[in-house]
Structure 1
Amino acid sequence: MASNAIATTNEVDVSAVIEAPLAHVWHFIKLGEFHKFWPAIEKAERVKGTTSDSDVYKWTFKDGTSLEVKQDEHSNINHFITYSAINAEPELPYSSMVSTIRCEPVTSGKLENSTFVRWSARFSSDADLGVIEDAKYKRQDALKGLEAAASSMSKA
């Protein structure tokens, strides 16, 4: 499929039930900790020169690309984080992206004491189908990594 195909939606929404307690999953949901669970990220570091009230991190991916992300919201009470892409090398093929990760405890049933994680992203209208599909697969891969990281905490 051509990379300039028109996207039918500019949103990505992936989810997973991670068989680890909410506290273990939530431990990793900080912009500076994503490299500890997302296999594609080599390192995450606070951008120098930013103030303590503007959390901006640079994610360096294993393929050599980098993405600066700004924390827009973070709630330890409601267990969600929202961040936006603000700079990239090489330049992104779209104007903007806002992403949210929400975590909910599973409180009953066979998966009690697990965590439901939903990771959504909204892209600007100039994002094509290739961007949307790539974002979906990257988030699915990251959720697998999050499950492995949180599960290893549970066994420790």
Structure 2
Amino acid sequence: MTDHRISLTLTFASDRDPAIVATRVGEVVADRIAAPLVGMNWSTFDLSEPNTDDEPDWEAAAKDREAERDGAYRERAHLVALLAAMTDGAVITDAPDVDEPGWQIVYLRLGGRQASWHVHPRDAGLFAHVERVEPDDPRACWDGHTTEEKYLGITAWTTELAQRRSAPPHPAS
């Protein structure tokens, strides 16, 4: 019986480039990626063939991809922390929907709509300025918005703010 290496190329909704993940007879070299899977391709390689120098280093590719993802989440956390500092009534609480300890959720009201983001424990320090509340605080109760609805609301609020800034000043009465 010949052992095979399986190469998977997974495409996620939020990725411009597909994430490359390798498996070797049951060993998966990858971490969770928080985006919907929208495509998958695979091919097999005979493990009895000698490895060549031009073969991709699947573990390194997976680690690079994870580092790239974590960098993007860190950048997002910085921007959400800035937005929270600029928004009256921002609150943060423990994330009851995440099994890992230390995760939090920040809640903002933007243009009259709720927007919320999960905060990884490594990014918690960025939110020290945000009022900490208990998970049952009414300001920290998720209103059921989807990610798409959140970003549609942000787009509408951004458009409204931009129009206010570009409107000519009202003459003094």
TM-score by length of 1: 0.25
Quick check: which one's helix share is greater? Answer: 2
Quick check: which one's strand share is greater? Answer: 1
RCO higher in structure (CA 8 A, sep ≥6): 1
